[in-house]
């Protein structure tokens, strides 16, 4: 098992290097740079532009800029924001708790819906409950986040006025904070629940067909004991994979939802950095999200050890 984890860590290194190269060069394909954004179209002084590019280091050849940035990246230095002058790491970790809070809340909403629904549909296969839940999951999977978010705002914020339409309150275990968190968490959690429910159902159905499940039933165990004590744990392995990938992808997948609900997380920071052509901030955010995604995949692999005894024996 240790050898497998070490191999996956090594395999992630070229992936991260490739992401670093792409993030550096792709953002520079967007027309204009931060100097053009700062000066606008109405005022253009070549001397001032040249001086600003020298200050920002944009007058250097592209390969020199990449070498300087990548050298800092290897040492853990993501550079400084061109717009604010603050270190990129400070900008990221200032917003990271908000995005992480939203991602965890969305994941909780997803699991609260998906796991019970997946178990019920698997144990009542081809029943009306199963067909209805599968239809609802297909609808939830098909709904775009931006459309669902707007609908929720119209219903619960505009018409019913139960919750605010957007914004953020400082983290606290209070109803005020929960009101701001509810709609974006439900918007994100709905599509996640659809995927997790379908995976739980298919995985549990496969496990329920194994010989040891029939043996447990032949011994006289109740259906609840068979499902909860024998089938569910073994069926959770692929579900854990999906959940880990979802959590890793959620940090980068909250961009649209954060914009709709004015949530001050990494997504809104990324949008602002792209609009302002803040190259170090865009590159730093991309690398941070990529590293977190790789870390979550590695954490899922390690968690397998506690779910599957066969992997402990291999390790």
Q: Look at residue 235 in the predicted model and tell me its pLDDT.
A: 82
CA-CA distances (angstroms) from residue 35 to 25, 38, 212, 278?
A: 18, 5, 68, 10
Three-state DSSP state, 80: strand
Exposed/middle/buried for 189, CB within 10 Å: 0-12, 13-18, 19+? buried
CA-CA distances (angstroms) from residue 8 to 17, 128, 300?
A: 15, 43, 12
Q: Look at residue 311 in the predicted model and tell me its pLDDT.
A: 57
Exposed/middle/buried for 5, CB within 10 Å: 0-12, 13-18, 19+? middle
Which one-letter DSSP state was computed for residue 7? H
Q: What is the 3-state secondary structure (H, E, C) of 143-154?
A: CCHHHHHHHHHH
Q: Look at residue 281 in the predicted model and tell me its pLDDT.
A: 94
Identify the CATH class of 96-265: mainly alpha
Q: Look at residue 312 in the predicted model and tell me its pLDDT.
A: 54
Q: Look at residue 93 in the predicted model and tell me its pLDDT.
A: 92
Q: Look at residue 243 in the predicted model and tell me its pLDDT.
A: 83
CA-CA distances (angstroms) from residue 242 to 57, 64, 149, 200, 275?
A: 42, 40, 23, 10, 32
Q: Look at residue 29 in the predicted model and tell me its pLDDT.
A: 87
Q: Look at residue 39 in the predicted model and tell me its pLDDT.
A: 79
Mind listing the pLDDT tens digit of every residue in the chain (315 residues)?
667 677 777 888 898 999 999 999 998 888 888 888 887 766 667 788 888 888 888 888 999 999 999 999 999 899 899 888 899 999 999 999 999 899 899 999 999 998 888 888 888 888 888 888 888 888 888 888 888 899 999 999 999 888 898 888 877 778 888 889 999 999 988 888 888 898 888 888 888 888 888 888 888 777 787 887 778 877 887 888 788 778 777 777 788 888 889 899 898 899 999 988 999 999 999 999 888 888 887 777 777 666 665 655 555
Q: Shortest CA distance to 113 belongs to which of 140, 89, 86, 94?
A: 140
Q: Shortest CA distance to 113 belongs to which of 35, 175, 191, 4?
A: 191
Q: Look at residue 280 in the predicted model and tell me its pLDDT.
A: 93
Tokens of 41: 């179209």
Full-model pTM: 0.83
CA-CA distances (angstroms) from residue 191 to 186, 246, 263?
A: 9, 10, 19
Cα separation, 312 vs 224, in Å, equals 28
User: Is residue 4 a contact partner of residue 304, using CB atoms and an 8 Å limit?
Assistant: no
Cα separation, 172 vs 190, in Å, equals 24
């Amino acid at each position: 098992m240790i050898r497998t984890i070490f191999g996956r860590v090594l395999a992630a290194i070229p992936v991260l290097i490739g992401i670093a190269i792409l993030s550096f060069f792709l953002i520079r394909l967007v027309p204009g740079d931060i100097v053009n954004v700062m000066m606008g179209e109405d005022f253009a002084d070549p001397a001032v532009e040249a001086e600003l590019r020298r200050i920002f280091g944009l007058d250097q050849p592209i390969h020199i800029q990449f070498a300087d940035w990548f050298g800092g990246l290897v040492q853990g230095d993501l550079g400084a924001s061109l717009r604010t002058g603050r270190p990129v790491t400070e900008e990221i970790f200032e917003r990271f708790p908000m995005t992480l809070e939203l991602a965890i809340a969305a994941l909780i909403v997803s699991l609260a819906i998906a796991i019970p629904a997946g178990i019920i549909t698997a144990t009542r296969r081809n029943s009306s409950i199963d067909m209805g839940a599968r239809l609802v999951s297909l609808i939830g999977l098909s709904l775009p986040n931006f459309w669902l978010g707007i609908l929720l705002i119209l219903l619960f914020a505009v018409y019913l006025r139960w919750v605010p339409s957007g914004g953020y309150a400082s983290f606290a275990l209070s109803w005020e904070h929960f009101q701001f968190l509810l709609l974006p968490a439900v918007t994100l959690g709905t599509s996640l629940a659809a995927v997790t429910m379908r995976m739980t159902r298919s995985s549990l159905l496969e496990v329920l067909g194994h010989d040891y499940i029939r043996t447990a039933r032949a011994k006289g165990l109740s259906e609840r004991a068979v499902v909860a004590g024998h089938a569910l744990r073994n069926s959770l392995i692929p579900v854990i994979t999906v959940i880990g990938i979802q959590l890793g992808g959620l940090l980068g997948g909250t961009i649209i939802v954060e914009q709709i609900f004015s949530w001050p997380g990494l997504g809104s920071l990324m949008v602002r950095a792209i609009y302002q052509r803040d190259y170090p901030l865009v590159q730093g955010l991309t690398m941070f999200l990529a590293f977190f995604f790789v870390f979550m995949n590695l954490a899922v692999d390690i968690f397998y050890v506690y779910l599957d005894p066969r992997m402990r024996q291999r390790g």
